[in-house]
Amino acid sequence: MLKVYVDGSIGPRNPGQIASYGFEVRRGSDVVHAEGGLVAKSDKAIYTNNVAEYGALIAFFDWYWMALRVGKLNVDGIIDIGKETRTWVEAGVIHSDSQLVVNQMNGKWSAGQGVYLPYYKLAAKEFMMFDKFMTIKWVPREQNELADELSKYDRYLNEPNGTPYI
């Protein structure tokens, strides 16, 4: 079973110009994959932390699809992904320190308006495809350290004028 940790970062403050993500995938004590990257960048401070948090979840699902296709994951079941199309999946638990993301993905909170809405919709669509094999749980920030660091590292590489945000 996979343990996934996702986190987003925004800079220089919230809202900010740069939204970035980090995620870590573990199987037992082994790190299967760790990644950080850019969600969005703008000259204006328009991105909220929610954009970055959902960007992290979307980035994980993008990696997960690829890993399934190349046989990098174990097989725990089969899901239908379209007309007469099936794929093997590996079960897992996604951990996030964002109460908004966790509660919205679990259907406890509804999505409001805002710049994060398209990111929420995409993440929800992808999560629904795997919800029989994936769950999402809230964890304190201290238990999400590697994903947090990965999200800040990519933001640091993309900051204007070389001024660190972290």
* CATH code of residue 97: 3.30.420.10
pLDDT, position 91: 86
pLDDT at 104: 97
Q: What are the φ and ψ backbone dihedral angles of 99, each rounded to 5 degrees?
A: -65, -35
Could you tell me the CA-to-CA distances from 4 to 14, 59, 69, 94 in Å, in that order? 25, 12, 18, 5
pLDDT score at 165:
37
What are 78's strand-pairing partners?
88
For 141, other C-beta atoms within 10 Å of its C-beta total 11
Indicate the number of domains in the chain: 1
Cα(103)–Cα(30) distance, rounded to whole angstroms? 28
Contact predicate 97/146, CB 8 Å? no
Task: Count the neighbouring beta carbons within 10 Å of the beta carbon of residue 157.
Answer: 13
Query: How do residues 61-87 score in pLDDT, each as one tens digit?
Result: 999 988 887 877 776 766 555 555 556
- pTM of the entire predicted model: 0.87
Determine the pLDDT at residue 162. 44
Q: Show the low-confidence residues of the chain (pLDDT under 50).
A: 161-166
Q: What is the pLDDT of residue 82?
A: 58
CA distances, 76 to each of 35, 67, 87, 135 (Å): 24, 14, 11, 14
Return the pLDDT at 132: 83
Structure-token match 């950080």, residue found: 36
Angle in degrees, CA 76, 58, 114, rounded to 5: 140
What's the pLDDT score for residue 16?
Answer: 87
Which residue range(s) make up the domain with 83?
2-162
Q: Provide the pLDDT for residue 42.
A: 85
